[in-house]
């Protein structure tokens, strides 16, 4: 497995690869969900490249960029164990040389709602780094998790509108046995915070039950219940909402016969730690 820490080394390794390539973009602190991405990628492509880069452009000024976990030796061991072809783990100066004038990429409809309202520059930062990674690595496929369904939709819109020749592969959410969605930020959670964090999963599963079992179709009642669940777990909610799974537009009324086209999204703070989660309200699409 090669490890490239500079853009020029990456380009040299990339030029030597023959056959198809799948990219697994990450910010490191790899866990079982990332391993699942690598395994799906491996089934599709001859070569898997993992990028490990904590992208400063997608963090707000008061967010956890400085203390975001960076266990690089452990991450490289995980990639090696999964037999990926290479890892790109650049330093900031490589991705954003000071000589470059910044470019802003905006996906206004999808990127300004929900996370975009809470974290105003977040998706501009995500789009910029994703476009750089796609240009540098030129993968045939790139994996993105369904847990962050808004990011998945923003990136899919970006590559469709800019005709980037890559297929975005959505990967299902991987959960711990208690239901907590795997996230690198879970490493920050103590026992009490972890119990509180389960409120996100409960809010989503109870919303799903309301629609699936009680055939509740009133969006307001469902979203109010989600907020109550979060509050009872001491989660400071940023949002708890039911949306169209493709457009993320709000729904005035829910068609309980079409729950596979509806997604629930929640975000909130447990103490100082911000968590997000999402869940399909009917059967989740297969990959």
Binding positions for ligand PAF, rule: CB under 6 A = 25-27, 55, 58, 126, 129-130, 148, 151
Q: How far is the CB of 129 from ligand PAF (least distance, A)?
A: 5
Six-digit token string for 138 = 């030129």
Q: How far is the CB of 121 from ligand PAF (least distance, A)?
A: 13
- Looking up tokens 């509180």 gives 196
State CA 62 to chain mean position distance: 20
- Residue placing its CB nearer to ligand PAF in the complex, 27 or 41: 27
Closest CA to 189 of 78, 77, 273: 273
Q: How far apart are the C-alpha atoms of 145 and 166, rounded to whole Å? A: 16
What is the 8-class DSSP label of residue 188? G
Q: How far is the CB of 238 from ligand PAF (least distance, A)?
A: 17
Per the CB < 8 A criterion, the answer to whether 171 and 145 are in contact is: yes
- Residue placing its CB nearer to ligand PAF in the complex, 159 or 254: 159
Quote the strand ranges of 137-259, DSSP E: 141-145, 167-171, 236-244
Q: How far is the CB of 164 from ligand PAF (least distance, A)?
A: 14
Q: How far is the CB of 264 from ligand PAF (least distance, A)?
A: 19
Closest CA to 175 of 21, 26, 36: 36
- Residue placing its CB nearer to ligand PAF in the complex, 131 or 251: 131
Q: Is 34 a catalytic residue?
A: yes
Residue 172: exposure state from Cβ atoms within 10 A (0-12, 13-18, ≥19): middle
- Residue placing its CB nearer to ligand PAF in the complex, 126 or 196: 126
- Residue placing its CB nearer to ligand PAF in the complex, 55 or 219: 55
- Residue placing its CB nearer to ligand PAF in the complex, 4 or 27: 27
Q: How far is the CB of 144 from ligand PAF (least distance, A)?
A: 7
Q: What share of the chain is helix, strand, coil (3-state, %, to 5)?
A: 40, 20, 40
What element of type H or E holds 126? helix 122-137
Closest CA to 168 of 157, 160, 156: 156
CA angle 9, 121, 142 (to 5 degrees): 45
Per the CB < 8 A criterion, the answer to whether 105 and 64 are in contact is: no
Active site residues: 34
């Amino acid at each position: 497995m090669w490890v490239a820490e500079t853009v020029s080394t990456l380009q040299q390794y990339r030029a030597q690869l023959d056959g198809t390539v799948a990219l697994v973009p990450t910010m490191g602190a790899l866990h079982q969900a990332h391993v699942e991405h690598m395994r799906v990628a491996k089934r599709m492509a001859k070569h898997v490249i993992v990028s490990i880069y904590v992208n400063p452009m997608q963090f707000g000024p008061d967010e956890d960029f400085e203390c975001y976990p960076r266990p690089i030796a452990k991450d490289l061991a995980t990639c090696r164990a999964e037999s990926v072809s290479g890892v790109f783990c650049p330093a900031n100066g490589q991705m954003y040389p000071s000589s470059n004038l910044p470019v802003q990429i905006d996906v206004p409809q999808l990127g300004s709602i929900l996370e975009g309202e809470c974290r105003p520059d977040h998706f501009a930062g995500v789009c910029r780094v994703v476009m750089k990674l796609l240009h540098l690595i030129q993968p045939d496929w790139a994996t993105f998790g369904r847990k962050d369904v808004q990011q998945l939709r923003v990136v899919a819109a970006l590559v469709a509108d800019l005709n980037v020749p890559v297929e975005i592969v959505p990967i299902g959410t991987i959960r711990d046995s208690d239901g907590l969605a795997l996230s690198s930020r879970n490493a920050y959670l103590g026992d009490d915070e972890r119990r509180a964090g389960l409120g996100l999963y409960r809010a989503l599963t109870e919303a799903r039950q309301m629609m699936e079992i009680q055939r509740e179709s009133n969006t307001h009642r469902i979203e109010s219940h989600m907020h109550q669940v979060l509050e009872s777990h001491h989660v400071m909610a940023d949002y708890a909402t039911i949306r169209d799974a493709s457009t993320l537009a709000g729904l005035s009324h829910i068609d309980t016969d079409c729950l596979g086209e509806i997604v629930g999204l929640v975000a909130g703070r447990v103490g100082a730690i911000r968590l997000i989660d999402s869940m399909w309200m009917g059967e989740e699409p297969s990959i």
